[in-house]
């Protein structure tokens, strides 16, 4: 049974799939301050929040069982994603589920700003019939600058066009071709400043966008410009905005989000040219049901099928790429485990990953993380997962390098993993053979061909007659059945290897007996995760218990 804590106002209808699920217990709490939440968070496997609950590092320190933090919405700036990543906690969100709500709110705010609707409403309900103070402006034929042409920015632009507005768009990812398709003009921030009558921002709050609209930018804008911010407080510098409005350069602003929420700044709240709403962009019945539905479905997928779709702290990839990588994931994890054992339990200081063949055309980030996780899990066991593996590597001071090679290694696809620590090094090469599945085809300098199995015996010996028979009969004496046996050598009569798959684990006595065989230099037992303990989920190659 998994325990889910839901804080903030989240739709019950949207949470139905979790409430109805026999493996989940859902408990609700109002928005709680960190000190109170800290006392209870240790009991829960997942936490669902909107934007009010602050998921801080301090809170996460007490979250010993927590596997998933779900943001029922888009922006995750109320969650310390880095701290969650360090703890290996998956952070998911519901991108797109509230796009229409935020888009419509932006349009509502722009129209309200243009026509002074909130001010007129307030005066009318107070009993004053004033038809002179609220002359507005039209949107028709005006220029709208949209900064951030992501999901919401694009939908705002489409709707604003239907008002007869001319749209200028700025986004680092906006291409000329896409702008043409949307019927808008791709513009620089400076052009937007010089030509826009209205400017609306739709970016996340990042180091780049904090204070994007500041004194300097405002000075470049057209006199009488109006601003809308339904994205994140802080993208527009509030003090600079108030100054520009007081100076009469900016005609007004409509703000749904603030540098500090709840907003208390009287300069904003008492300015007659600034209209405000309390972060209501996503507050529609439809959006709230949808965000809750999406995160509930995703939580069920993660816990039941080990599959993650919208993790903020995991590489995003298409379903097609996930499907293509799937056959390599278990193999990648096993290669990692194998190579670190070949290093005789030393922790590697350097890791090299090389991809060849079909793999060079794929987004291999997930596979790389899987290989690295396989290595680190040998020493760090369950504390390492695909979320925190890069962080843990950095913390351990292990460097890694990934290369995609155009040269051919004789297989349609091939990956090679090398590790080193001082003078010691180890290498494993593997491929997935069409119709035959995964194969380890190289161990150190030796070519072999083995199907990865849970129990492997790796033997180094002199290349001389009778060795295979001696090893085989000794294992037989101990009632150990051999699945497959492969030999490899680089020179006739030189050092050779044997790699055997065994039906059960051999103990230290067997290893000692093996090393007494004349000509046998070394025998090492290697253990790999079995297919069952890997549970090949689409993106989660590990049972959630060991995330």
Ligand X SMILES: O=C(O)CCC(=O)C(=O)O
Ligand Y SMILES: NC(=O)C1=CN([C@@H]2O[C@H](COP(=O)(O)OP(=O)(O)OC[C@H]3O[C@@H](n4cnc5c(N)ncnc54)[C@H](O)[C@@H]3O)[C@@H](O)[C@H]2O)C=CC1
* Helices 467-477 and 508-515, axial angle in degrees (round to 10): 150
194 binds, among ligand Y, ligand X, none (CB under 5 to 8 A by kind): none
Nearest to 344 by CA among 213, 482, 96, 524: 524
Out of 99, 388, 418, 542, the residue judged to bind ligand Y by CB under 6 A:
99
Selected binder of ligand X within 74, 367, 456, 497 (CB under 6 A): 74
C-alpha closest to that of 145 among 177, 183, 193, 99: 193
Pick the closer one to ligand Y by CB: 129 or 173. Answer: 173
50 makes contact, choosing from ligand X, ligand Y, none, with CB < 5 to 8 Å by partner type, with ligand X
Query: What is the pattern of x (binds ligand Y, CB under 6 A) and - over residues 234-253?
Result: --------------------
**Contact in structure between 375 and 422 (CB atoms under 8 Å):** no
| Residue 368 interacts with ligand X (CB under 6 A): yes or no | no
Cα-to-chain-centroid distance, residue 420: 29
Residues 194-223 that bind ligand Y (CB under 6 A): 202-204, 206, 208-209
Quick one: tokens of 467?
């060795």
Q: In what order do the strands lie in the sheet with 482-489?
A: 482-489, 495-502, 455-462, 520-527
Q: Could you list the beta-strand ranges (E) of 330-454.
A: 350-357, 399-405, 413-421, 424-433, 437-443, 446-450
261 classed as catalytic:
yes
Report how far residue 171's alpha carbon sits from residue 422's, in angstroms, rounded to the nearest whole number: 47
Which of 98, 103, 143, 185 contacts ligand X by CB under 6 A? 98
Query: Count residues contacting ligand Y (CB under 6 A)?
Result: 31
Q: Which stretch binds ligand X (CB under 6 A): 281-289, 315-323, 365-373, 400-408?
A: 281-289
**Of the residues 46, 50, 110, 439, which one makes contact with ligand X according to CB under 6 A:** 50
Interface with ligand Y (CB under 6 A), residue from 10, 90, 91, 147? 147
Query: 72: Cβ–Cβ under 8 A, 6 or more apart, which residues?
Result: 8, 10, 14, 48, 49, 50, 94, 288, 291, 292, 294, 295
d(CA 463, CA 496): 5
DSSP state of 42: G
Report the residue from 69, 218, 257, 450 that binds ligand Y according to the rule CB under 6 A. Answer: 257
Q: Which is nearer to ligand Y, 98 or 368 (CB)?
A: 98
Map the footprint of ligand X across residues 25-44, applying CB under 6 A.
Answer: none
Sign of the alpha-carbon torsion through 112, 116, 122, 128: negative
Are 535 and 543 spatial neighbours (Cβ–Cβ below 8 Å)?
yes
Q: Which is nearer to ligand Y, 205 or 430 (CB)?
A: 205
Q: How far apart are CA 169 and CA 189, in angstroms?
A: 9
Are 254 and 281 in contact, with CB atoms under 8 Å apart? no
Q: Which of 170, 258, 446, 534 binds ligand Y (CB under 6 A)?
A: 170
Q: How far is the CB of 74 from ligand X (least distance, A)?
A: 4
Can 232 be counted among the known catalytic residues? yes
Does position 232 interact with ligand Y (CB under 6 A)? The reply is yes
Burial of 539 (0-12, 13-18, 19+ CB in 10 A): buried
252 binds, among ligand X, ligand Y, none (CB under 5 to 8 A by kind): none
Which span (7-15, 148-156, 389-397, 486-494) binds ligand Y, by CB under 6 A? 148-156
| DSSP β-ladder status, 350-357 and 413-421 | antiparallel
Strand ranges across the sheet with 68-71:
24-28, 2-6, 46-49, 68-71, 90-93
Q: Is 373 in the site for ligand X (CB under 6 A)?
A: no
Task: Note whether 283 binds ligand X by CB under 6 A.
Answer: yes
Write the interaction track for ligand Y spanning residues 278-297; mark x where CB under 6 A is met and - where it is not.
-x-xx---------------
| Residues in 38-77 at the binding interface with ligand Y, rule: CB under 6 A | 74-75
Question: Which position among 67, 279, 455, 461 bears the catalytic label?
Answer: 279
Q: Which residue is nearest to ligand Y (CB)?
A: 150
Per CB under 6 A, does 148 bind ligand Y? yes
Segment contacting ligand Y by CB under 6 A, of 13-21, 191-199, 227-235, 376-384: 227-235
Among 47, 102, 241, 351, binds ligand Y (CB under 6 A): 102
Question: In whole angstroms, how large is the CA radius of gyration of the chain?
Answer: 30
Residue 171 interaction partner, one of ligand Y, ligand X, none, beta carbon < 5-8 Å per kind? ligand Y
Could you say which of 27, 216, 261, 395 is catalytic? Answer: 261
The answer to whether 40 and 321 have CB atoms below 8 angstroms apart is no
336 contacts: CB under 8 Å, gap ≥ 6: 370, 371, 372, 373, 374, 375, 376, 377, 378, 417
In sequence order, the 6+-apart residues with CB closer than 8 A to the CB of 177 are none
Candidates 11-19, 167-175, 345-353, 502-510 — which segment interacts with ligand Y by CB under 6 A? Answer: 167-175
Nearer to ligand X, 30 or 437 (CB): 30
Residues that bind ligand X (CB under 6 A): 50-51, 73-75, 98, 279, 281-283
Residues contributing to the site for ligand Y (CB under 6 A): 74-75, 95, 98-99, 102, 147-153, 170-173, 202-204, 206, 208-209, 230-232, 256-257, 279, 281-282
Enumerate the active-site residues.
Answer: 232, 261, 279
């Amino acid at each position: 049974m998994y325990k889910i804590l839901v804080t903030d106002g989240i739709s019950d209808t949207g949470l139905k799939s979790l409430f109805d699920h026999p493996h989940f217990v859902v408990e609700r709490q109002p928005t709680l301050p960190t000190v109170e939440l800290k006392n209870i968070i240790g009991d829960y496997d997942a936490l669902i929040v909107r934007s009010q609950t602050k998921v801080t590092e301090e809170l996460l320190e007490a979250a010993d069982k927590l596997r998933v933090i779900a943001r029922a919405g888009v922006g995750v700036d109320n969650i310390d994603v880095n701290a969650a990543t360090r703890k290996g906690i998956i952070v998911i969100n519901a991108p797109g589920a509230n796009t229409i709500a935020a888009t419509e709110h932006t349009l509502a705010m722009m129209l309200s700003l243009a026509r002074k609707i909130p001010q007129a409403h307030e005066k009318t309900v107070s009993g004053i019939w004033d038809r002179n103070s609220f002359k507005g402006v039209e949107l028709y034929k005006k220029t709208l600058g949209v900064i951030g042409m992501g999901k919401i920015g694009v939908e705002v632009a489409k709707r604003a066009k239907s008002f007869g507005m001319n749209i200028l768009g700025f986004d680092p990812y906006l291409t000329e071709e896409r702008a043409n398709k949307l019927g808008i003009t791709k513009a620089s921030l400076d052009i937007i400043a010089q030509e826009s009558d209205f400017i609306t921002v739709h970016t996340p709050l990042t180091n780049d966008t904090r204070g994007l609209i500041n004194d300097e930018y405002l000075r470049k804008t057209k006199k009488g410009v109006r601003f809308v911010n339904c994205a994140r407080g802080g993208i527009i510098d509030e003090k600079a905005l108030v100054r520009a409005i007081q100076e009469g350069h900016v005609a007004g602003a409509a703000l749904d989000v603030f540098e500090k929420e709840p907003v208390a700044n009287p300069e904003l709240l008492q300015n007659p040219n600034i209209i405000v709403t309390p972060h209501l962009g996503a507050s529609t019945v439809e959006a709230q049901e949808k965000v809750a539905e999406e995160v509930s479905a995703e939580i069920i997928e993660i816990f039941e099928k080990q599959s993650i779709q919208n993790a903020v702290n995991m590489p995003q990839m298409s379903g097609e790429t996930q499907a293509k990588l799937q056959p390599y994931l278990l193999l990648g994890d096993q290669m990692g485990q194998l190579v670190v054992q070949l290093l005789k339990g030393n922790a590697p200081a350097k890791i090299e990953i090389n991809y060849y063949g079909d793999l060079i055309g794929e987004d291999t980030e997930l596979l790389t993380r899987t290989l690295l996780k396989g290595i680190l899990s040998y020493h760090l066991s369950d504390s390492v997962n695909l979320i925190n593996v890069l962080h843990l590597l950095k913390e351990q001071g292990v460097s890694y390098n990934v290369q995609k090679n155009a040269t051919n290694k004789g297989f349609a696809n091939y990956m090679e993993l090398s590790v080193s620590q001082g003078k010691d090094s180890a290498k494993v090469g593997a491929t997935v053979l069409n119709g035959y599945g995964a194969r380890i085809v190289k161990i150190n300098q030796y070519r072999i061909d083995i199907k990865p199995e849970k129990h492997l015996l790796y033997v180094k010996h002199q290349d001389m007659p009778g060795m295979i028979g001696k090893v085989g009969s000794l294992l037989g004496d101990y009632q150990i059945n051999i699945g497959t046996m492969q030999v490899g050598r680089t020179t006739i009569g030189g050092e050779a290897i044997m790699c055997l798959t065994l039906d059960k684990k051999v103990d230290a006595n067997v290893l000692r007996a093996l090393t007494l065989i004349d000509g046998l230099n070394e025998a090492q037992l290697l253990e790999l995760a079995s297919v069952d303990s890997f549970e090949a989920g689409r993106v989660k190659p590990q049972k959630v218990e060991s995330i």
